[in-house]
Amino acid sequence: MEQFSKENQPVYLFIVGLLAWLVPGAGHFFIKEGKRAAIIFVTITLTFAAGLYIGSIGVIDPVGATPWYVYGAQLVSSPVVLLLGHISAGGGYPVYGWPNEIGQIYTTTAGLLNLLCIINALYLAHLRATRIPGE
């Protein structure tokens, strides 16, 4: 953090937020919170993977399930969701009933957890950037 001054603190916060979105936990890792980063990565990745396992790739549906995809926060999980949404948009992965609903809930929960972790990483980075040296 020493290389970032008050003038470029927004750039620093942008980098932390972007890393936290690209890979769950990467924002915390960047600000030297390694244990927290590992816990976040494992938790969010396993939650998202469980949703895909339960409902298949068909639960990531940007066309037929837009509320879950965008407003339901599947997209906040990681940019990998964009790729999976592009693959499943062809409609070759139909999922119906309970597996679809439970898979959507799991993947959306992973996205919302990642949103909380992004906010936490930004908050911690902001606190560290505004701290007076020597405290």
**CA–CA distances in Å: residue 103 to residues 4, 5, 78:** 41, 44, 16
**CA–CA distances in Å: residue 36 to residues 27, 84, 94, 118:** 10, 27, 37, 12
Whole-prediction pTM value?
0.81
Predicted local distance difference test score (pLDDT) of residue 6 = 58
Number of structural domains the chain divides into: 1
Residue 92 lies inside a defined structural domain of this protein: yes
Q: How many CB atoms lie within 10 A of CB 127?
A: 10
pLDDT in tens, 91-122: 667 777 777 788 888 988 999 999 999 999 99
Are 60 and 69 in contact, with CB atoms under 8 Å apart? yes
pLDDT in tens, 67-98: 767 666 777 788 888 788 777 776 667 777 77
Residue 2 lies inside a defined structural domain of this protein: no
Residue 115 structure tokens = 């949103």
Q: Which domain holds residue 27?
A: 9-130
pLDDT in tens, 45-65: 999 999 989 988 878 877 777
